[in-house]
Amino acid sequence: MIALTKTNFNFPGQKSVYHGKVRDVYTLNNDLLVMVASDRISAFDHILPKGIPFKGQVLNQVATFFLESTRDIVPNWLVACPDPMVAIGKACEPIRIEMVIRGYLAGHAAREYKLGKRELCGVSLPEGLKENDRLPQPIITPAAKAEEGHDEDISKEDILAKGLVSKDIYETMEKYTYALFQRGTEMARDRGLILVDTKYEFGIHNGEVILIDEIHTPDSSRYFYADGYAERQLIDEPQKQLSKEFVREWLMKNNFQGKDGEIMPIMPDDFVEVVTERYIELYEKITGNTFSKADPSNVMNRIETNVSNYLKTL
């Protein structure tokens, strides 16, 4: 199978390009962004050597599905989706704070809790929790986005004290984060899933806070299967989940957590296929739609043609 791991487009009116961990963002003269979701996969803030076929398509189409499903809650950046791997939207001034929200003690929060920490980003955690337990109520644990390397946990108090954003902007993001998580939780429940935790990113467009990037994708979110969740918790079994966590777990088993001196392992082809299958499974499970694989044989030409044809209509 073919994976798209690098892009180097020159779209009409293009003035700059930014290559992120997963997405390549092309800025056009008319204040539009062309965001190409590649098949790259990252974990522990490192890009893995091999791409995951169809991952970019899954990410783009899941994000588009949820952006369209939440426009009544918060305005967002998305304008069009001219190719299965491409979203076009409004250029914004990004707010360099990730709004991480957690409904369960999982992932990073669980690892911190096991170390004895009972406060995360200024939020107190109760005693007596075990990994994957539901929290008394969802908590927001923001992360300050780093230019390079790991994003850093930060409290609301520190964000405001450092003047990273104004109180009004932060509280708007906070309100939107709770509302989006509630909608995502309800949509997941309808599909037999639990939305465990996720993150949202926001930007400023014409003075207004709007939702940017992706939402509720397997890269930005963790999902458990609802069926059997309670039983697994009772007997301390790992939860059956749809997320990128199983990739992180594979890396940890192979002695990699992104720390200095560690060597990134290379995923064998059979595991790459498993990752592709898990991404497709999540798409179908969360949207209720059958996944239709786009032709990957000449993906660069396909994307360039589809985007150029869309831009001609503007």
Strands (E), 158-274: 193-205, 208-212, 221-225, 241-243
Residue 246: per-residue pLDDT? 85
Range of the domain at 180: 94-246
Residue 295 domain-assigned?
yes
Query: For position 147, what pLDDT does the model report?
Result: 65
Looking at residue 235, which CATH number applies to its domain?
3.30.470.20
Q: Please tell me the distance from the alpha carbon of residue 124 to that of residue 28, in angstroms, as a whole number.
A: 44
Q: Is 201 helix (H, G, I), strand (E, B) or coil?
A: strand
Extract the tokens encoding 188.
């997941």
Average pLDDT of 152-168? 96
Residues 121 and 212 in one domain: yes
User: What is the rounded distance in angstroms from the CA atom of residue 149 to the CA atom of residue 259?
Assistant: 10
63 and 160 both lie in a single domain: no
Over residues 227-271, the pLDDT tens digits come to 999 999 999 999 998 878 789 999 999 999 999 999 999 999 999
Q: What's the structural domain count of the chain? A: 2
pLDDT at position 242: 80
State mean pLDDT over 183-195.
96
Confidence of residue 92 (pLDDT cuts 50, 70, 90): very high
Q: State which of 228, 246, 264 marks the end of a domain.
A: 246
Asked whether residue 145 is domain-assigned, the answer is yes
Q: Report the distance separating Cα 297 and Cα 213, nearest Å.
A: 27
pLDDT value, residue 219: 82
Which single residue is written with the structure tokens 């429940």?
189
214 and 289 in a single domain? The answer is no
Residue 146 pLDDT grade (very low, low, confident, very high; cuts 50, 70, 90): confident
Domain check: are 221 and 101 in the same one?
A: yes
- The span from the first CA to the last CA of the chain, in angstroms, equals 35
Report percent pLDDT > 70 for the chain.
99
Q: What is the pLDDT of residues 9-58, one digit of tens each?
A: 999 999 999 999 999 999 999 999 999 999 999 998 899 999 999 999 99
Please give the structure tokens belonging to residue 297: 């044989």
Average pLDDT, the chain: 95
Say which residue the tokens 């398509």 belong to.
Answer: 57
Q: Give the pLDDT band of residue 148 (cuts 50, 70, 90).
A: low
* 41-45, 93-97, 146-150, 293-297, range with the lowest pLDDT: 146-150
239 and 103 inside one domain: yes
Residue 127 placed within a domain: yes
Pairing of strands 134-140, 123-124: unpaired
Residue 167 pLDDT grade (very low, low, confident, very high; cuts 50, 70, 90): very high
32 and 78 co-located in one domain: yes
Structural element, H or E, at residue 63: helix 55-69
The CATH number for 88's domain is 3.30.200.20
Is the domain of 102 the same as that of 241?
yes
Q: Which residue stretches of 70-166 are H helix?
A: 107-114, 156-161
Same domain, 118 and 151: yes
300 and 199: one domain?
no
**Which residues pair with residue 139 across a beta bridge?**
102
What pLDDT does 149 receive? 57
pLDDT digits (tens, 9 = 90+) for 278-302: 899 889 999 999 999 999 989 999 9
Same domain, 283 and 172: no
Rounded Cα–Cα distance for residues 211 and 194 (Å): 22
Give the contacts of 45 (CB within 8 A, at least 6 positions apart). Answer: 21, 149, 150, 151, 258
Q: What's the rounded Cα separation, in Å, for the pair 18 and 20?
A: 6
Residue 271 lies in a domain: no
- Write down the pLDDT at residue 150: 64
Distances (CA, A) of 301 to 10, 81, 215: 12, 16, 27
Query: What percent of the chain is predicted at pLDDT more than 90?
Result: 89
106 and 242 inside one domain:
yes
